[in-house]
Amino acid sequence: MKMVSCATYEGVEAKVVHVESTLTKGLPSFSVVGMASASINEAKERVKSALLSNEFTFPPKRITINLAPSDVKKEGSQFDLSMALLIALDYLEDDLSDWFVFGELGLDGTIKENIQLYPLLLSLANQKIIKKAVVPFESLEKLSKIPNIEFYGVKRLGEAIELLKESANAVPNCSYKKIEYPSYKINEKEYYFDNNYIEDFSDVKGQEVAKRAALISAAGFHNLLLEGSPGCGKSMIAQRLRYILPPLSSDEILDIAKLDALEAKEPTFKPLRSYRAPHHSSTTASVFGGGSYKARIGEVGLAHRGVLFFDELPHFSRGVLEALREPLQDNKIRISRVNTKVEYPSDFLFVSAMNPCPCGNLLNEQKECRCSDLEVQRYKNRLSEPFLDRVDLCVVMQQVTSKDRATISSQEMHNQVIEVHKRALLRGQKSFTAKLSDSEIDNYCILDSEAKDVLEMAVKRFALSFRSIKKIQKVSLTIADLDKSDIVQKRHVLEALSYRRRG
């Protein structure tokens, strides 16, 4: 029996599959066992044609390919090459069990690229269970961004056969390529950022309070809710936030590229966080992921390490808004189905926008609001208190005037965010300020006596929940970092309190 390794998906992570083969005497046949999908069973014809096209005689034996473990559903064309190699090298006595082999075969024996290879190999690398892999030659440029794996690129089936014949002397033809973007190193770890601001905050005229809240949100990864009349700049601010978010480590860049590949996008490997903005008519399954057989990733999972923007927030269904409470609190999403249970990481910055009333003119001094008090109350009641309790910053946008001018650029804001990021790392934080645990907040958020008094008064006056208290402390710490202060002072707590939602 011969064996090489390959992989398939289990949720968004890769599951190692051992491809085994036996060629025995009997009536000639070719069968694949081990819960193989239709795409894998179709590979039998591709494998036959590829072998015959490369001057290999298809053996007149009973050929059985087993994909282990047999209780995991396998799918994808990446198994073609491993099956062909096992048949062609059946006579070889060398142990090939530590080789991972990926590639789709053409009928003439060419080895084709598969966009799903990148997330598979990245997942295997993160799990530290792969050292060397045979892959399509045209995938090398993309795969070279993944560290700690030796890649052997091949263009045709004949090359792959020759490679494994001489596996002991094989030399990898791909080396790790460092990410080439501006960066800085903190605690022996490199962090990268992109200083190209396609959408700039200099385009936003006026709205000083909202821009200040956006800066605090970006610096500490605090959830943000913008409320204002139509056209006042809510969506503009949300779209520009992704360009001033904290820098990314190489692992985070690879994770974002993996999510791009899962969505069938070509990974760019830019240190730019993702931005997802589902429409308010989106279904629960499209937002959170789902499927009757295979739980596919949704918008919440694809927003991991980036921004999830909900425009027209009250128009989202109650089911979507209430289900969002779990990932906002735990930074993960769990999908349970009869056939599968999957958990996705979902550590994102939640940004939302809403009108003050159904017609949008409640705060407008020039236009008359057409809504009754009951309609306004129903509109606002779509957002429950437990949901709003998970939002750190709530801002009522100012009315737009002809005198409004740009006051700050994305470059200036990003520089401040980077300085806050460095301060947090140097004091030992492993996560953004908004994501700190209660014990970490007690360690890092040091309030002076006046700040403590203000917070205690706010707790009594506003009947703050325990979660709200911790959120105010976190926002205060971010404001103190922007102020380059090691101690949280009274003015920092007062500013944090000013961003609490009222009414």
Mean pLDDT by 10 residues, the chain (503 residues): 89 88 90 91 92 85 93 90 92 85 94 88 89 93 87 94 88 81 92 94 93 97 95 94 96 89 83 95 89 76 95 94 92 78 89 94 88 94 92 91 88 97 95 94 94 95 91 97 96 96 72
277 with 243, same domain?
A: yes
Residue 196 amino acid letter: N
143 with 192, same domain?
A: no
Residue after which a domain boundary falls, among 169, 195, 225: 169
344 phi/psi in degrees, rounded to 5: -110, 140
Instruction: Establish if 485 belongs to a structural domain.
Output: no
Cα torsion 88, 93, 94, 100: sign: positive
Instruction: Establish if 430 belongs to a structural domain.
Output: no
275 phi/psi in degrees, rounded to 5: -140, 115
Using DSSP, state whether 73 is helix, strand or coil: coil
In which element (H, E) is residue 482 found? helix 466-482
Spatial CA neighbour of 134 closest among 97, 161, 109, 99: 99
Nearest 10 degrees: Cα torsion 457, 461, 467, 468: -90
Q: Return the number of other C-beta atoms located less than 10 Å from residue 46's C-beta.
A: 19
- Number of domains within the chain: 2
133 with 202, same domain?
A: no
146 with 204, same domain?
A: no
Residue after which a domain boundary falls, among 351, 381, 405: 405
252 phi/psi in degrees, rounded to 5: -70, -40
Using DSSP, state whether 11 is helix, strand or coil: coil
Alpha helices in 370-462, H assignment, sequence order: 373-381, 385-388, 410-426, 438-444, 449-462
Using DSSP, state whether 332 is helix, strand or coil: strand
Residue after which a domain boundary falls, among 352, 387, 405: 405
Residue 129 CA to residue 126 CA, distance in Å, equals 8
Instruction: Establish if 411 belongs to a structural domain.
Output: no
Q: Domain of residue 370: give its range.
A: 186-405
99, HSE (Cβ side, Cα atoms, 13 Å): 28
Please tell me the predicted confidence (pLDDT) of residue 475.
Answer: 97
Instruction: Give the residues across from 89 on adjacent strands.
Output: none
Residue 34 amino acid letter: G
285 with 138, same domain?
A: no
354 with 249, same domain?
A: yes
Please tell me the predicted confidence (pLDDT) of residue 107.
Answer: 93
286 with 218, same domain?
A: yes
Spatial CA neighbour of 183 closest among 106, 271, 57: 271
Instruction: Establish if 413 belongs to a structural domain.
Output: no
112 with 202, same domain?
A: no
The two three-digit tokens of residue 136, written as one number? 């399509």
Instruction: Establish if 412 belongs to a structural domain.
Output: no
Instruction: Establish if 312 belongs to a structural domain.
Output: yes
Residue 335 CA to residue 288 CA, distance in Å, equals 8
Alpha helices in 324-435, H assignment, sequence order: 325-330, 373-381, 385-388, 410-426
Instruction: Establish if 290 belongs to a structural domain.
Output: yes
Using DSSP, state whether 34 is helix, strand or coil: coil
Instruction: Give the residues across from 30 on adjacent strands.
Output: 63
Instruction: Establish if 276 belongs to a structural domain.
Output: yes
CB 117 within 8 A of CB 102: yes
Instruction: Give the residues across from 343 on adjacent strands.
Output: 334
What CATH number should be reported for the domain holding residue 144?
A: 3.30.230.10
Please tell me the predicted confidence (pLDDT) of residue 57.
Answer: 80
